[in-house]
């Protein structure tokens, strides 16, 4: 069996060569500080216009924010985390049944990012699941551990509700009708990546995920409460987003940057690894329907900026995204007018 996974139970004493970045690409961990003033949005706040205003500012200035009082039950989150941990502790032979490095597969366990394309690997294993419509994909999801399907489907449904609520507020924050973005995006897809980063013998030489932007609309990230690792680029500096209990990190993806005609930022972010502890995160990606036409909203192009990106369908964009390496230029650059 050719095992490419790194969550095998084996402790590595040094980093294999294929994970080592050249000097100029390393994360320079000693220079990274904690992010200050990360915007925190209270979605239950009674002052709706304040929430909308805060979201707008966060999307413009940071490209990410944390959300509290998001409506996702604590129990759903805990069960998801528990099931994900159990999954990654399964014997490697069991996990390998789901292994694939083919990006178009809708349910798969994989490693790094795009094993077939990339030159240097990343210190990450991940379970990637399509989640919507749920009944279409659920039968292919892991059946082991036995709790997995229940836990992950409840989690997905709750996160979707939260995401759609947030989308309304984002729409309003752009001065649009509440339902505007949802209407443009059509029957929205939802994907999940359960990321697992085992302890790494030389964290300063590699990444869990190198700098990237997410190709979808926006991402709802559940961070490990006990081990930080998410870093974002803010004002030209990498900074760590410290986990906040009962909160999700939301980052704007490429499609919102395009729809907003560049007003909102699909923020560069990365995951770093550490020597002592495994780290887990669960990323939920809301995506436009494949045939949704991504075109800047008319209301947002009349201010002298012009139309920044050409029109494209999400299917076209997604294909381009997966045909590249993760740490190249911003994928949206390829769609500029």
Footprint of ligand OGA (CB under 6 A): 193, 195, 209, 214, 221, 229-230, 269, 271, 281, 283
The DSSP output letter for 311 is -
What is the footprint of Ni ion within residues 186-215 (CB under 5 A)? Answer: 214
CB distance 159 to 134 below 8 Å: no
Q: Please, what is the minimum distance in Å from the beta carbon of residue 208 to ligand OGA?
A: 6
Least Cα distance to 127 among 146, 111, 138, 103 occurs for 111
Q: What is the dihedral of CA 53, 282, 254, 187, to 10 degrees?
A: -90
Site string for Ni ion, 294-333 (x = CB under 5 A): ----------------------------------------
273 binds, among Ni ion, ligand OGA, none (CB under 5 to 8 A by kind): none
109 binds, among ligand OGA, Ni ion, none (CB under 5 to 8 A by kind): none
Q: Please, what is the minimum distance in Å from the beta carbon of residue 44 to ligand OGA?
A: 25
Q: Which residue is nearest to Ni ion (CB)?
A: 214
CB distance 244 to 68 below 8 Å: yes
Q: Which helix (H) or strand (E) holds 85?
A: helix 74-88
By C-beta, is 158 or 254 nearer to Ni ion? 254
Binding status of residue 167 toward Ni ion by CB under 5 A: no
167 binds, among Ni ion, ligand OGA, none (CB under 5 to 8 A by kind): none
Cis amide prior to 145 (ω within 30 degrees): yes
CB-count exposure of residue 6 (10 Å: 0-12, 13-18, 19+): buried
Q: Please, what is the minimum distance in Å from the beta carbon of residue 209 to Ni ion?
A: 6
Residues engaged in binding Ni ion (CB under 5 A):
214
């Amino acid at each position: 069996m050719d095992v490419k996974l790194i969550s095998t139970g084996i402790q590595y004493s040094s980093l294999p060569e294929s994970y080592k970045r050249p000097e100029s690409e390393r994360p320079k961990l000693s220079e990274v500080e904690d992010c200050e003033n990360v915007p925190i949005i209270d979605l239950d706040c009674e002052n709706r216009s304040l929430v909308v205003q805060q979201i707008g500012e966060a999307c413009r200035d940071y490209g990410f924010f944390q959300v509290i009082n998001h409506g996702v039950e604590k129990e759903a989150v805990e069960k998801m985390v528990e099931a994900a941990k159990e999954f990654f502790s399964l014997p490697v032979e069991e996990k390998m049944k789901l292994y694939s490095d083919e990006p178009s597969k809708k349910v798969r366990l994989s490693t790094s990012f795009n094993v077939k394309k990339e030159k240097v690997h990343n210190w990450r294993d991940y379970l990637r699941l399509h989640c919507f419509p749920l009944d279409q994909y659920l039968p292919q999801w892991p059946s082991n551990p036995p709790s997995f399907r229940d836990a992950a489907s409840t989690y997905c449904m709750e996160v979707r509700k939260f995401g759609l609520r947030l989308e309304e507020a984002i729409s309003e924050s752009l001065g649009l009708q509440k339902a505007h973005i949802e209407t443009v995006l059509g029957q929205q897809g939802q994907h999940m990546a359960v990321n697992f980063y085992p302890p790494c013998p030389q964290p300063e030489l590699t990444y869990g995920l190198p700098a990237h932007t997410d190709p979808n609309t926006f991402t709802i990230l559940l961070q490990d409460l006990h081990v930080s690792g998410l870093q974002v680029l803010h004002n030209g500096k990498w900074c760590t987003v410290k986990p906040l209990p009962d909160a999700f990190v939301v980052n704007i993806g490429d499609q919102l940057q395009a729809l907003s005609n560049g007003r909102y930022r699909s923020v560069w972010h990365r995951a770093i690894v550490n020597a002592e502890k495994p780290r887990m995160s669960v990323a939920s990606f809301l995506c436009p329907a494949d045939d949704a036409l991504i075109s800047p909203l008319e209301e947002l192009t009349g201010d002298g900026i012009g139309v920044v990106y050409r029109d494209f369908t999400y299917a076209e964009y997604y294909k381009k995204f997966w045909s590249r390496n993760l740490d190249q230029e911003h994928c949206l650059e390829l769609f500029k007018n």
